[in-house]
Structure 1
Amino acid sequence: MTTSTAATLANVVASPPSGRAKAVVFDHHEYAASVILRGHTVPWDNATAYAAFFSQAQGLLGPDIALLDLKRLYDHLTAGNTGLETAMAARSRTGYALRTLLADNDTNKAVLEFATVFAQTARQPVVLRIPSPMEWLIATHRFGGADNLGELVADDAENASMYVSDWLRAFAALPVAGLLLDNRAPDEGLGRVPVALEAYSPIANVTRNYRWTLGQLDDEQVRLQADTAVGGYIPPEFWLDPDVELPSADFYLAEIPRSARPEDVLLRLDALK
């Protein structure tokens, strides 16, 4: 099934709907949870309530994209799910745990319902963010009893991308503008296996068929497949210190820290114009 969207991430980068000179993708989760929810729990179990919370944050910041981080949703849905963890640990074969996670019917149903509400209520083009296949493989590898991440190689990532590409087909009917694979080093300090975006051809085939822009978040930059535009990360200090300058880039991804003050954020938003 081939779908099309009114805009792709590549289109947005080329011509930001916000009117900014350069498009900005905001990850405002931590900041919005602090400023809007004020200590209350993020409503992951109520997609409509989450969409309202997200929309309020978007209204404050005026981004060019609505970014849905499915890793955060997965972390919430799978926390304490001992049945799923047992199923993931049933085989030690590399990739078995990830394949089991992505094939879990209950989790898939909850994720698709959540993403559907989000996509249908978003006022900006929707971009999904997931771990890169290698990072997702590393994160689930321990369930099979494997402690040695050094045994993983780039070929394992390509195999993992086949599981991810099959899983992505569930989102075919949604108005998605792009998919970002998060390949950055995790905070937990888990092992790294360098894998280029080009290794994930099964995912590239799916996104090309659905006319989504495919990109990857590496430690230093954001790359879009078949596009010369290179994205840069706005440093957290930018929101805290007016003397911090923007890096050189064609577009930006900005994670606003929880500690940022709303009045300072508004001033720095003006600097982005």
Structure 2
Amino acid sequence: MSVTLADRLPDRSGKAGLRLWLKSSGYARRLLMGEAGDPWVSAPAYLAFFTQAHGLLRPDVAVIEVADLYRSWIARHPELVTEMAAKRRAAWPLRAMLEAEGPRRLLAEVVEAVAASLRGQAPVVLALPAPRQWLAEASAAVGRPAPDDGDAVEDAAMYLADLARAVSSLPVGGLLIEAGDGDLGDVEAWRPLANVARHYRWGLVLRHSGSGGRLNGEAADFDAVIAAVPPAAAGAGGRDIGPALWGDAPLSPLAAGEFYFAEVPPGSAPEAVLENLARLRA
């Protein structure tokens, strides 16, 4: 069953929706598999990992960290790096990586398995690095500096959109783009990703983890924006309360159209995590 993230988001008119969005893959991986554990070796292995993590933390959104899948695949299949280095075009390393058949097939199997296990209880969201960030990471994998031109970023956004279309027949509910201050000037170049989300009626969410840049009118392009101070122009606001939550600071109540977001520090003690989540849910 496909559950659309957009239908689960609260809105400024006061409609109730999801309350807690957790980013917990690093913490869950260390806790359940150890520092060297890799849940991405197969879809059954990932499902076993996901089921344990989701049952332990009970977030309102099921997030699949797509970049982690590709990092694992490259570590286990170094021949892909050779293909990524085969051409000198600025965006070729990312294109070759994202078009590779093996990781695409694994992503499809993971999405299908996770959605089937959830049975409509939570939307399945694909988390993607902002195009400029993933472009730089793919270039670094083949020993090249990060491209610094707008055309390469636009190309990167098209390749990410093509990856999303490749799983469009599966029960995906939304896309999350994770961005820092240096990515906010590229929002218009992300149009291919926004078009894919709109076409398939997925939710489109931006997480801004930086501290200096600010979104203005561009926030209206997203169904939700996650930030320390979410912009009012966004359809819904994800209030990033991580520092306050893990620092035992007081938490202010949610306003209309808001939900809590927190990234669980990978090195956290399980008892402290569960205590703070109980405090938040109370």
Q: What band does the TM-score fall into relative to the shorter chain? A: 0.7 to 0.9
SS of the residue 1:93 aligns to: coil
Aligned match for 1:234, one of 241, 244, 263: 241
Q: Please show how residues 181-196 of structure 1 align to structure 2 within 5 Å.
A: 181-184=177-180, 192=182, 194-196=184-186
Is this contact kept in 2: 1:129–1:181, CA < 8 A? yes
Is this contact kept in 2: 1:234–1:247, CA < 8 A? no
TM-score by length of 1: 0.81
Residues 174-232 of structure 1 show CA distances to partners (whole Å, capped at 9, x for unaligned) of 111110111237xxxxxx45434332111111111111111222224996715421223
**Unpaired segments of 5 or more residues in structure 1?**
186-191
Is this contact kept in 2: 1:93–1:144, CA < 8 A? no
Q: Please show how residues 77-156 of structure 1 align to structure 2 within 5 Å.
A: 77-122=73-118, 123-142=121-140, 146-147=144-145, 149=146, 152-156=148-152
Q: Which amino acid aligns with 1:262?
A: P
Q: 2:172: which partner in 1?
A: 176
Please give the alpha-carbon distance, in whole angstroms, between the structure 2 residues aligned to 1:6 and 1:107. 22
Give aligned-pair identity as a percent. Answer: 34
Aligned match for 2:271, one of 257, 263, 273: 263
Aligned match for 1:243, one of 249, 258, 270: 249
Q: CA RMSD in A?
A: 2.9
Query: How many angstroms does 1:97 deviate by?
Result: 1.0
SS of the residue 1:175 aligns to: coil
Q: Does 1:254 align with 2:262?
A: yes
Please give the alpha-carbon distance, in whole angstroms, between the structure 2 residues aligned to 1:137 and 1:39. 26
Q: 2:227: which partner in 1?
A: none
Please give the alpha-carbon distance, in whole angstroms, between the structure 2 residues aligned to 1:160 and 1:144. 16
Please give the alpha-carbon distance, in whole angstroms, between the structure 2 residues aligned to 1:258 and 1:145. 28
Please give the alpha-carbon distance, in whole angstroms, between the structure 2 residues aligned to 1:259 and 1:98. 30
TM-score by length of 2: 0.78
Is this contact kept in 1: 2:95–2:159, CA < 8 A? yes
Q: Which amino acid aligns with 1:176?
A: V
Q: 1:158 to 1:246 in 2, by over 3 A?
A: farther
Is this contact kept in 1: 2:254–2:260, CA < 8 A? no
Aligned match for 1:225, one of 222, 225, 240: 222
Residues 208-266 of structure 1 show CA distances to partners (whole Å, capped at 9, x for unaligned) of 11111112222249967154212232325623x42353697722322112332333223
Residues 95-144 of structure 1 show CA distances to partners (whole Å, capped at 9, x for unaligned) of 11111111112222222222222222234211110111111111122456
**Unpaired segments of 5 or more residues in structure 2?**
224-233
Please give the alpha-carbon distance, in whole angstroms, between the structure 2 residues aligned to 1:247 and 1:233. 13
